[in-house]
Amino acid sequence: MADLHVFKKRHAFTMIEMMVVIFLIGVMATFVIPKLAHKTPQSEWSTILYDLNNLAFFARQEAISNQAVYRLNFKSGGSASDMMIIEKEEQDPEKAGKRIYTPVSSYYLKTQYQFHPSVKIKAFYHGKKEEISDSSGNPCCYIVHDGLVQDVIIHLVRTEKGVESRVSFKMMPFYGKFERYDDFIKPEL
């Protein structure tokens, strides 16, 4: 009886096949990674809109549950990044009858939003009144205890690589959220 040796075929990758795959992944990575690195998601309009709407929703829920007035206070200008801070109306402990606004804190949520340095607030409207160019104004969006939010329009400009893009965020008072409009929209009244 002859020894029968049965050779089984091995199903595995050879070293050359694995090196080719690793080489191709490396080549693809050299094209993809730089594009991802230059992407600034904090400056994308959809990200900014999402973040501002989350903060407006939080302030609205706090106003309803605490039966107090809250506001979204927008800080603009100077060399620092523009920002928005959630504040609550309170009694001034030093002056009877006077109201002050203090920053809100939360264990679960950052109550300040800092815009990406490439994004600037260009204009802020209450009705037809522009609050940023008028130094007496304080660009704020008030939220009352029943959840209604003041109707405001914010014009934002993003400048990246010398290219400027513009949008408007308009607060929808009954919904308590911003809607995005490409380019600047004019205030109505």
DSSP for 52-79? HHHHHHHHHHHHHHHT--EEEEEE--SS
Question: In tens digits, what is the pLDDT along the chain, a chain of 189 residues?
Answer: 555 566 566 677 788 888 888 888 888 888 777 766 655 555 589 999 999 999 999 999 999 999 999 999 998 877 778 899 999 999 888 887 788 899 999 888 899 999 988 899 998 898 777 777 655 557 889 999 888 998 999 999 988 888 889 999 999 988 889 999 998 998 875
The pTM for the full model equals 0.73
Which has the closest alpha carbon to 19: 10, 11, 27, 31? Answer: 27
pLDDT of res. 143: 92
Long-range contacts of 174-183 (CB under 8 A, 24+ apart): 174/148, 176/56, 176/57, 176/60, 176/143, 176/147, 176/148, 176/149, 177/53, 177/56, 177/57, 178/49, 178/52, 178/53, 178/56, 178/154, 180/45, 180/46, 180/49
**How many residues are given for the chain?**
189
pLDDT of res. 10: 66
pLDDT of res. 20: 87
pLDDT of res. 85: 93
